[in-house]
Structure 1
Amino acid sequence: MKLWNTIEKAIDFIAEMMGRIGWLLIIYLMVFGVTDVFLRYVLNAPSLWISTSLQIAMVLLACVGGIYALNDNAFVKLDLFYANFSPKKKAVCDIITVVFTILFLGVLIWKGYQAAKMSVMLNQHTPTSIPLPIYPLKIFFPITGIIMLLVVIKKLVNDIRTLRS
Structure 2
Amino acid sequence: MVDAVNRVVGLFAMYLIFAMMGVLLYSSVMKAVAIPPLWTLEMAQFLMVGYYMLGGGWSLQNDAHVRMDLVYAQWSPRRRAAIDSVTILFLIFYLGMLLYGGISSTGYALRYGEQSYSAWAPYMAPIKIIMCIGIVFMILQAVAQLIRDVAAARGRELS
User: Is the TM value for this pair above 0.5?
Assistant: yes
2:3 corresponds to: 12
Which segments of 5 or more consecutive residues in structure 2 lack a partner in the other structure?
A: none
Unpaired runs of at least 5, structure 1: 1-9
Q: CA deviation at 1:90?
A: 0.4
Offset of residue 130 of structure 1: 2.9
In proportion to residue count, which structure has more helix?
1
The separation in 1 between residues aligned to 2:122 and 2:30, in whole angstroms, is 20
Check the 8 A contact 1:22/1:64 in 2, yes or no.
Answer: yes
Q: Secondary structure at the match of 1:56?
A: helix
Which residue does the alignment assign to 1:86?
Answer: 76
Cα distance in 1 for partners of 2:73, 2:26 equals: 43
For residue 47 of structure 2, the aligned residue among 57, 60, 84 is 57
Query: Cα RMSD between the aligned structures?
Result: 1.3
CA contact (8 A) 1:120 1:135 kept: yes
The letter of the residue matching 1:141 is: M
- Any residues of structure 2 matched to 1:1-165 within 5 Å, and which? 10-40=1-31, 42-165=32-155
Tell me the TM-score normalised to structure 1 length.
Answer: 0.88
Equivalent position SS for 1:80:
coil
On the 8 A contact 1:71/1:151 being kept in 2, the answer is: yes
Moved over 3 A (4+): none
The offset of 1:138, in angstroms, is 1.0
1:26/1:61 contact within 8 Å kept: yes
Question: For the Cα contact (< 8 Å) 1:39–1:46, is it kept in 2?
Answer: yes
Work out whether residues 110 and 142 of structure 1, in 8 Å CA contact, stay in contact via their aligned partners in 2. Answer: no
Give TM-score scaled by structure 2 length.
0.91
Q: How many residue pairs are counted as aligned between the two chains?
A: 155
